[in-house]
Amino acid sequence: MTTLAASASDSSLPSATDLTLPAPPKETSSSSSHNNNNNNNNAEPFSEEQLSNDLAAFLENPNLKAALADGSLDLASYSSTVEGELAELETKCIEAYREKTQDIANLAKELETCDGILLGLQEMLLGFQADLGGLSGDIRQLQETSKTLGIQLHNRKAAALGLRDFLGRIILSPNLVNTIVKGPVNADFQQAIQELTQLYRDTHETTPQEWACGEPPSNTVAGKEMQAHIQQLRLVAVSRIREYFYQQMSLLRKPQTNIRILQSHGLLHYADLYEFLMDAAPDIAKELFKVYTDSMAKTLYALFRTYQAQLIQLDATKYAATRQDVLAVEDAYLRDSITTKAKKRVDVFTLGNRANVLNNTHENPIVAYVATSERKTFPYERLLKSCLQHLVDAVTNEYVVCRQFFKRDAFEQIFPPTLQLLLEQLENYLFGCYDALCILLMIKVTHQFRRSAQSRTIHCLDSFFDQMTHLLWPRLKTVMELHLRSIKQATPLSLGGVDLHAHYVSRRFAEFTCSVLLILQKGNKPPPASSPKSTPRKGGNMDPPASMTPPPPQRMISISSNAPATDGKAPPTKASAGDMLLQDLNELLDEYIALLERLSEEHTVNIKKIVFMINNLDQAVCIFQERRVAGGKELNRILEMLMLQRELFVEEELLQGFSKMIAFVQQTEASLATGQATDATVNIQVVEALVREFASNWRSGMEAINRNVLSFFSNFRNGMEILKQVLTQLLLYYTRFQDVIRKVYKRQPPAFAKDLVPTTVILAEIKKYALAI
């Protein structure tokens, strides 16, 4: 016992206050279920797991753990000690409670007071809860009332909207009626007509639609009553619109009227009014269309007739070409007292700057009164171009106006009189026209404006351009035949004789041929494959007609005759009008060369015949070069003949001074070729005489050649070329002469060999003449 007491009083051991058993663990679901299954067991069995947990808790105390480790702890005495301490603590707790009895009583009273206060608050809150419950009911009632009022408001608004829409569809406002009946025709009037049109549709529409009022106005009594009033107002509107358009169209016939401004501001600006007429009064719309087309037809006819009359006064070629102005004109006409200078005239056959008419299709037309005041004149093809410019512009303008205003084309109603006038005036001009260049230029101008109209998708002028082409091509063929016949029938007697210089026919022929070729080559770029404004015609295509087919590769010809194609078969092979024109030029060239040969026969001396041919051919070549005509078969053929005639002249000229040497060279070279020429067969005296004769006469012979060439050829450059060619050929003959002597006397040169003139000396002399050029 002493040991236990000592051990219990040991300060190292924990006291009762220090040892606190851990709270027993909460009952698990398994233990709960166990208690439910075993209702007779009041206490939970002590499990090994709980024991292990308690021991682990005790061992956490370091003092207890140390006591257990050294074996100094007596558990029995320790337990009694703990119980004593617990009893002591209980006594102390009771004493402390007794000391605080008054405080506890005061606290109890305060709790009772608080309970009373809280009870009053509870009753107050319950009252508030009851009041709030009443307010919640009122709010719900207000919400229901508000929802009902919202539905009523929505229904009233929908009804007001429907009624407003309905009334707006059947009621004619005073402002609308006043604008249509009394107001001027302007933008407000146009707006009023649109509103009237909408009213008419609404009051006559019977098909079911989404109407705001729920019922189409035409199905209501009010709507049916308003139909008569709206119809009456429509009649008033039709009358006013008809009167307005009549006034505008009557202005078209007045002189000094700007038609395009009138069309733009007086008609196109009010195109909606004409649409109204087409719906409200189709007969009046047709009547206005007829009035407009009649007015424009007469106005355009008068304008073009006046313009054509003014242009005729500006024609610079009115008296330029007559029937006698052909390539080979008779001498009797040349000797006429009135036409003494006709022989020198080549303006009919010279193109000059007339081809500029083909440069720009969009060139400004001629202002007739300005040109008249400035005393300007123009070739007829320029006048035709100006007229066609106005025509294409007028047709384009009317096409746009009629499509936008009348919603239809009016070409057949407006332009036939004007087109007939232009064709008649062209035919009258062509009846007395003998200017082939003018006719060909007009063909090209016509072709250009055809393509310009097609680029604007204006195809209604195609037949007009075809008729123009059918007038121009036959006349051109007739004039070409006149020129051809004049050359065929020309004789030296009818032309008044010939001399060595170039004949005037050569200059006329060359100028005429160059002019024709330049016209054919000018402005022949093919049109683009597609154009932003070009659209194919319905049932057709954008290919140009046969009169404007592309040129063949060897010649830039853009205008050809019409060749109809057989249905389902390839078109028959037929030469185009451009090809036939080239054939006429070739035939003209053949006849020109034949005429030169006939004229050359007037000279009895052969060299003069050759000189005459060279002068004429050279003049033709010079004109081709001056006009910068690209090389063609016409120029090539003339050059070939010129080269041939030059070669003939060279031989003829050398034969006059060196015929013996040339004949000896030609004969001996032929004998050497057969092996018959030797020093024994060749007469040495003849050779010696030829050597000495050439050595003494070659300089004078060159001077004679130079004089002859300068006297024969008027073209200095041509003469110098021929002179060089003659002297060069002379040097070649003399070189061949020396070669023959060497071959014949190859064993031993003869004694006269020292008299041979060195070729270097002759060449130096030739160079002197060359430097003089």
DSSP 665-701: HHHHHHHHHHT---TTTS-HHHHHHHHHHHHHHHHHH
Confidence of residue 14 (pLDDT cuts 50, 70, 90): very low
| CA-only gyration radius of the chain, Å | 64
What percentage of the chain exceeds 90 in pLDDT? Answer: 29
Residue 40 in this model has a pLDDT that exceeds 80: no
d(C-alpha 296, C-alpha 742), whole Å? 97
| Higher per-residue pLDDT: 44 or 395 | 395
Helix, strand and coil content of the chain, in percent to the nearest 5, comes to 70, 0, 30
User: CA 225, CA 223: separation in Å to the nearest integer?
Assistant: 5
CB distance 401 to 263 below 8 Å:
yes
Selection from 585, 568, 696, 673 nearest residue 632 by Cα: 585
Could you tell me which of 2, 3, 7 has the C-alpha nearest to residue 78? Answer: 7
Stronger pLDDT, 21 or 402, i.e. the higher one: 402
| Residue 300, pLDDT above cutoff 80 | yes
Mean pLDDT lowest among 187-196, 198-207, 493-502: 198-207
Dist. CA 279–CA 197, nearest whole Å? 9
What is each CA distance from 760 to 486, 731, 757, 764, 767, in whole angstroms?
A: 53, 10, 8, 6, 10
Burial 237-272 (b: 16+ CB within 10 A, else e): bbebbbebbeebbeebeeeeeebeebbeebbeebee
Return phi, psi of residue 315, to 5°: -75, 115
Q: Which of 61-65, 748-752, 760-764 has the highest mean pLDDT?
A: 760-764
Q: What is the reported pLDDT for 387?
A: 94
User: Comparing 19-28, 172-181, 202-211, 429-438, which segment has the lowest mean pLDDT?
Assistant: 19-28
pLDDT by residue (tens digit) across 595-651?
Answer: 999 998 888 889 899 999 999 999 999 999 888 887 678 889 999 999 999 999 999
Angle of the 221-250 helix axis to the 271-280 helix axis, nearest 10: 130
568 vs 469, more confident:
469
- Where residue 307 falls among pLDDT bands split at 50, 70, 90? very high
pLDDT at residue number 494: 82
pLDDT band (50, 70, 90) for residue 576: low
pLDDT in tens, 519-553: 888 755 443 333 333 333 333 332 333 333 333 33
pLDDT at 8 over 50: no
**How far is the C-alpha of 494 from the C-alpha of 478, rounded, in Å?**
22
Query: Residue 453: which pLDDT band, with cuts at 50, 70 and 90?
Result: very high
So what's the pLDDT on residue 631? Answer: 64
pLDDT tens column, 310-335: 999 888 766 567 888 888 887 766 66
Predicted TM-score (pTM) of the model is: 0.69
Residue 212 confidence (pLDDT) above 60 = no
Q: Average pLDDT, whole number, for the chain? A: 79
Residue 568 region by backbone torsions, left for phi larger than 0, else alpha for psi between -120 and 50, else beta: left
Does residue 744 carry a pLDDT above 90? no
Q: Which residue has the higher pLDDT, 232 or 41?
A: 232
Indicate the SS3 state at residue 315.
strand
